[in-house]
């Protein structure tokens, strides 16, 4: 009889499930909608988690007792109360014991690196998580699109909207990207844009999608997009350096893992590397790497560590 380990990576837009035999020789992936209860609510998160677990049971013809350990990395775990809420969701879905629950950023780190390591995620939002060799964790960012997540796709989109509206109000000089923002929203006149934006809900993914226009402008070496992307790299480097200092990683060989659509863009990535290296003072013991696996694979690594060693860190 084959025993299994399970990893679940629950994000704001989708949830990835990976079921593997304990020796990690065979992996099968399943996907459902978001399990971020702060984005879709507890009922929807519960439904999507149960849907994914049901797919595994039906397609793999296995029961929960054959899953020796499960790792759940779920978006929205910011405090003990969040942990308690999601632990109840998991147990209600049928996983009663032998599971580890953490923020989804931890899975992304283990998908690319062992500890000590730091992962810098900049996609729609941004978060930096570091773990040292003693297992101490420090997390910065990822608290809210509205007042945190600096350097993220949403932050970049919000910045270009800020400058575009300033131009509409006659308070900023014209830049070519403003016309592309107008076209994105299918609006004919700049005077109409502020009223149009005021009437829309704060659609985080939509605003974050404007980062693509800024990145394209950066590739063309347009001054305003480069200014915004340089600031994004600065904030991400500052987040990372604060984690680095807090974990006392000086003179330690360490991987800096870069993940997310914004972070993997060359314009941002190269500026980030330069700014972080300037803060640390040397790059001799730092390796910058990108995630070439699905973050959910990190959960399989973590589950194996627990089964074999009794602990992750």
pLDDT, tens digit, for every residue of 76-92? 898 999 999 999 999 99
Instruction: Check whether 312 has a pLDDT greater than 70.
Output: no
Instruction: Check whether 74 has a pLDDT greater than 70.
Output: yes
Instruction: Check whether 69 has a pLDDT greater than 70.
Output: yes
What integer pLDDT is reported at residue 163 of this predicted model? 98
Among the candidates 195, 229, 263, a domain finishes at: 229
Instruction: List the domain range (segments joined by +) for residue 220.
Output: 153-229
One domain for residues 177 and 201: yes
Residue 295 belongs to a domain: no
What integer pLDDT is reported at residue 1 of this predicted model? 64
One domain for residues 44 and 121: no
Q: Which range in 59-73, 162-176, 258-272 is most confidently predicted, on average pLDDT?
A: 162-176
Q: List the alpha helices (DSSP H) in the chain.
A: 37-40, 42-60, 80-92, 104-112, 153-168, 176-184, 193-198, 204-209, 211-219, 223-246, 266-280, 296-309
One domain for residues 76 and 181: no
One domain for residues 182 and 218: yes
One domain for residues 169 and 215: yes
Q: List the alpha helices (DSSP H) in 73-152.
A: 80-92, 104-112
For 70-79, 116-125, 200-209, which range has the lowest pLDDT when averaged over its residues? 200-209
One domain for residues 159 and 218: yes
CA neighbor of 264 nearest in space, from 163, 149, 122:
122
- Looking up residue 38, the CATH number of its domain turns out to be 3.30.420.40
One domain for residues 128 and 242: yes
Which 3-state string (H, E, C) describes 219-277?
HCCCHHHHHHHHHHHHHHHHHHHHHHHHCCCCCCCEEEEEECCCCCCHHHHHHHHHHHH
Residue 104 belongs to a domain: no
One domain for residues 143 and 262: yes
Neighbours of 270 (CB within 10 A): 12
**Token duo for residue 285:** 């013991």
One domain for residues 216 and 268: no
* Total of domains in the chain: 3
pLDDT in tens, 141-181: 988 878 889 999 999 999 999 999 999 999 999 999 999 99
CA neighbor of 88 nearest in space, from 139, 62, 30, 49:
49
What integer pLDDT is reported at residue 142 of this predicted model? 86
One domain for residues 123 and 250: yes
One domain for residues 225 and 238: no
Which helix or strand (DSSP H or E) is residue 10 part of? strand 4-10
What is the rounded average pLDDT for all residues in the chain? 92
pLDDT in tens, 208-250: 999 999 999 999 999 999 999 999 999 999 999 999 999 999 8
Pairing of strands 15-21, 4-10: antiparallel
CA angle 36, 45, 83 (to 5 degrees): 60
Instruction: Check whether 24 has a pLDDT greater than 70.
Output: no
């Amino acid at each position: 009889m084959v025993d299994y380990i399970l990893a679940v990576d629950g994000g704001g837009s989708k949830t990835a499930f990976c079921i593997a035999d304990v020796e990690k020789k065979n992996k099968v992936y399943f996907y459902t909608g978001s399990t971020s209860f702060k984005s879709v609510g507890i009922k929807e998160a519960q439904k999507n988690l149960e849907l994914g677990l049901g797919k595994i049971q039906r397609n793999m013809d296995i029961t929960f007792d054959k899953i020796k350990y499960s790792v759940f990395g779920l978006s929205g775990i910011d405090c003990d109360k969040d942990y308690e809420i999601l632990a109840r969701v998991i147990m209600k879905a049928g996983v009663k014991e032998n599971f580890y629950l953490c923020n989804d950023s931890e899975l992304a780190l283990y998908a690319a690196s062992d500890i000590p390591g730091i992962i810098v995620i900049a996609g729609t939002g941004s978060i930096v998580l570091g773990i040292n060799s003693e297992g101490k964790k420090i997390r910065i960012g990822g608290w809210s699109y509205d007042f945190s997540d600096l350097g993220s796709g949403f932050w970049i989109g919000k910045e270009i909207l800020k400058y575009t509206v300033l131009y509409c109000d006659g308070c900023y000089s014209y830049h070519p990207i403003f016309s592309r923002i107008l076209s994105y929203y299918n609006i004919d006149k700049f005077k109409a844009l502020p009223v149009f934006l005021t009437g829309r809900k704060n659609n985080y993914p939509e605003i974050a999608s404007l980062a693509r226009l800024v990145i394209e402008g950066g590739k063309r070496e347009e001054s305003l997009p480069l200014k915004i992307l340089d600031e994004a790299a600065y904030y991400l480097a500052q987040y990372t350096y604060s984690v680095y200092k807090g974990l006392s990683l000086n003179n330690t060989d360490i991987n800096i893992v870069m993940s997310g659509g914004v972070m993997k863009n060359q314009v941002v990535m190269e500026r980030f590397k330069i700014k972080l290296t300037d803060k640390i003072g040397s790059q001799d013991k730092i390796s910058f790497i990108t995630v070439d696996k699905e973050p959910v694979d990190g959960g399989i690594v973590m589950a194996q560590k627990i089964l074999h060693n009794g602990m992750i860190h």
